[in-house]
Amino acid sequence: MISFVVPTYNCAKYLDETVGSVISQLSEDIELILVDDGSDDGTAEMLAKYRDLPGKKIKILLHEHRGVSSARNAGIDAAKGDWVSFMDSDDCLIPGFFDKCRKIVETNADLYIFSFEHVDCLTESVEPSTVDDRIYGSSSDFADEYIRTRHLLVYSACNKFYKKALLDRHGIRFREGLEFGEDRLFNYDYLCTAGRIETSSVRMFRYMHRNPESASNRSFPDYFNTIMMLHKAKMDCFTELSKGTSEDEKRAFIGYDISTETERMIDRFDLHPEEKARNLPLINKLIFEEKNGKSITLIPAYDEHIGPDNWFKDPYCRKICLSELSKRFMYSDYKKG
């Protein structure tokens, strides 16, 4: 049986669409667990109508507001299925998904990773995020492939099937109290316990880009420190699991990851100037050094007239600085973080 967990919080205007996309596909071997995280917009009251639908296995859990990690953990604890899966309360399950996934999970892997779609609700454009149909005999084989390709949709918890027995045996739950990144840490923890892993081109859900209050659109003043923590956790996971990659491949992976994450931080500055005020000085410490009380860089091609507060606005300078940052992390002792 599959336990499908949907945490809800102040999503009344999307609830019928989201829950309806799942209920229309429920059968005897699928239970839906709806966990409300202390909503105050009528969401909890709306959930009541789903409780006693004939022929449907639906559980409704009402909690005080403690965050999405706590709600998901409550769903895991209540799950009776062999598999646990998640979806956010403003997304939609793709029609026919459960029918397609039943045959796939017969291979009895420890982790299934599915494709999904990004939907821009303003333009109605659809952009797929896909993985190939492939079976990895071990988490080490999976880590080898990820280090080399850097694209296996490892971040989200909402495109995966997890074995309930593994979650319980190893006490794997979502970290509570984080501003973001709890999905990643959950997945890294799980990968370290998994054996066989299967990726599938079957698309599971539609990620609806419509909520201005979603985590991807909110400001996070401590973004830098959280990203550095997530980077280290990712490196610890994949470089330890990988047995078939060379040291050079691992170092290239480390450098690429820190450079990519830093550029994503920078790209948020226009939308979140308060993040720039707090995080740019921390980024500069990675790239610049102090001499005679002045901030300088070790990069020969750097134009000192641009200055440490504006280097990222010049495309050439940004490229050079991020390349240097990548090299520094590549040749640091990544096993010590």
For residue 149, which phi and psi values (nearest 5 degrees)?
-105, -30
Instruction: Look at residue 214 and tell me if it is in a domain.
Output: no
Q: Tell me the C-alpha distance between 322 and 60, whole Å.
A: 48
Verify that 159 and 252 share a domain, yes or no.
Answer: no
Question: Can you list the alpha helix ranges (DSSP code H) found in 34-181?
Answer: 43-47, 68-78, 97-104, 139-149, 164-169
> Taking a C-beta distance cutoff of 8 angstroms, is the pair 12, 39 a contact?
yes
Verify that 82 and 162 share a domain, yes or no.
Answer: yes
Instruction: Look at residue 52 and tell me if it is in a domain.
Output: yes
Q: Tell me the C-alpha distance between 53 and 113, whole Å.
A: 30
HSE-CB at 201 with a 13 A cutoff on CA atoms is 3
Please determine, for residue 212, whether its predicted confidence score (pLDDT) is greater than 70.
Answer: no
Instruction: Look at residue 218 and tell me if it is in a domain.
Output: no
Verify that 54 and 162 share a domain, yes or no.
Answer: yes
Q: Using pLDDT thresholds of 50, 70 and 90, give the confidence band for residue 293.
A: very low
Verify that 258 and 167 share a domain, yes or no.
Answer: no
Instruction: Look at residue 202 and tell me if it is in a domain.
Output: yes
> Taking a C-beta distance cutoff of 8 angstroms, is the pair 63, 50 a contact?
no
Verify that 282 and 150 share a domain, yes or no.
Answer: no
> Taking a C-beta distance cutoff of 8 angstroms, is the pair 98, 27 a contact?
yes
Q: Tell me the C-alpha distance between 150 and 289, whole Å.
A: 30
Per the listing, tokens 């209920």 go with 23
pLDDT over 90 percentage in the chain: 72
Vertex 157: Cα angle to 153 and 163 (nearest 5): 105
Q: Please give the average per-residue pLDDT across 92-120, as a whole number.
A: 94
> Taking a C-beta distance cutoff of 8 angstroms, is the pair 311, 302 a contact?
yes
Sign of CA dihedral 118, 124, 125, 128: positive
Domain finish residue from 209, 235, 267: 209
- Taking only the tens place, the pLDDT of each residue in 322-336 is 888 888 888 665 444
Q: Which residues contact 289 (CB under 8 A, 6 or more apart)?
A: 295, 296, 297, 298
> Taking a C-beta distance cutoff of 8 angstroms, is the pair 244, 148 a contact?
no
Instruction: Look at residue 217 and tell me if it is in a domain.
Output: no
Verify that 9 and 148 share a domain, yes or no.
Answer: yes
Instruction: Look at residue 139 and tell me if it is in a domain.
Output: yes
Verify that 179 and 35 share a domain, yes or no.
Answer: yes
Q: Between these two residues, 191 and 314, which has the higher pLDDT value?
A: 191
- Taking only the tens place, the pLDDT of each residue in 214-243 is 555 788 888 999 999 999 999 999 999 999
- Taking only the tens place, the pLDDT of each residue in 18-27 is 999 999 999 9
Per the listing, tokens 């054996």 go with 195
Verify that 111 and 35 share a domain, yes or no.
Answer: yes
Residue 108 sits in a domain whose CATH number is 3.90.550.10
Instruction: Look at residue 37 and tell me if it is in a domain.
Output: yes
Verify that 204 and 254 share a domain, yes or no.
Answer: no
Vertex 37: Cα angle to 220 and 9 (nearest 5): 65
Domain of 42, in residue numbers: 2-209
Please give the structure tokens belonging to residue 321: 């600085």
Instruction: Look at residue 67 and tell me if it is in a domain.
Output: yes
Verify that 122 and 9 share a domain, yes or no.
Answer: yes
Verify that 61 and 203 share a domain, yes or no.
Answer: yes
Number of domains in the chain: 2
Verify that 286 and 324 share a domain, yes or no.
Answer: yes
